[in-house]
Amino acid sequence: MYTLYGRKGAGSAAVEAALALAHAPYRMIETASWERNEAFPELLKRNPLGQIPTLVSDDGSAMSESAAILIHLGISHPDSELLPADATARAQVIRGLVFIAANCYAAISIIDFPERWCENADGDEAVQQRIRVGTRARLHRHWEMFADVFPPQPWLSGERIGALDLLAAVVSKWSGARKHLEEHRPALYQALLRVEAHPEVAAVFAANWPPA
């Protein structure tokens, strides 16, 4: 039984979907740094950064960082095919996971909290907005690069839906990335819609982002 610290509509959705593919039981503890509750101090003991997702195993060991958690689950549950069995394909999936974490996910933090990344910008909305606009443009360019380097075949993870599909589907939800991809990289946009509709993970996505 895993314990997952997360929140609806957050990056923990990718780990929820991965646990669903692995048929791995877990309990969810909802908390977040921007929506603190009585569970947040408990999360800080597991992860001093207070990040979600944080995944705790039965032995008490904690994993943080979405890409690392997905790689860990792929190794721990090989039958899930979160990571391809073929070494070359697996290497590319790991490359893609780290690409999203380093270039796309990281940009979201800047867009959400620009004051953290510029000295004396705490009360300067004009400066914060300039940071947001520039970072969002860069984020969208990174998604274009991702689409060009990691085309669906038919899934981003290879022959079956896997870890790369899940992280891409979740992180592309934010900062207008989906709308940008629909116009500029429609093949990736359609692939992300297929990920969300996949019968093994559709319920997770629907719970995190209820249909309008």
* Residue 137 pLDDT greater than 90, yes or no: yes
Span of 87-96, 117-126, 179-188 with lowest mean pLDDT: 117-126
Of residues 125, 209, 130, the one with CA closest to residue 174:
209
Ordered by where they begin, the domains of the chain are 2-80 (3.40.30.10), 87-198 (1.20.1050)
CA atoms within 13 A on the CB side of 138: 16
Helix (H) or strand (E) holding 197: helix 186-197
% of the chain with per-residue pLDDT over 90: 95
CB-based contact 26:3 (threshold 8 Å): yes
Average pLDDT over residues 46-53: 96
Tell me the pTM: 0.95
* Residue 123 pLDDT greater than 90, yes or no: no
CB-based contact 1:25 (threshold 8 Å): yes
Q: Give CA–CA dist 48/39, Å, rounded.
A: 13
Q: Give CA–CA dist 124/209, Å, rounded.
A: 32
Average pLDDT over residues 185-200: 98
Band (pLDDT 50/70/90 cuts) for residue 121 is confident
The strand pairing partners of 32, in sequence order, are 35
Q: β-strand 2-6 against 54-56: which pairing, if any?
A: antiparallel
Task: For tokens 């996949």, name the residue.
Answer: 198
Band (pLDDT 50/70/90 cuts) for residue 211 is confident
Q: Which residues contact 56 (CB under 8 A, 6 or more apart)?
A: 2, 3, 4, 5, 46, 62, 63
- Residue 111: Cβ-neighbour burial (10 angstroms; 0-12, 13-18, 19+): buried
DSSP string, 134-168: HHHHHHHHHHHHHHHHS--SSBTTBSS--HHHHHH
* Residue 212 pLDDT greater than 90, yes or no: no
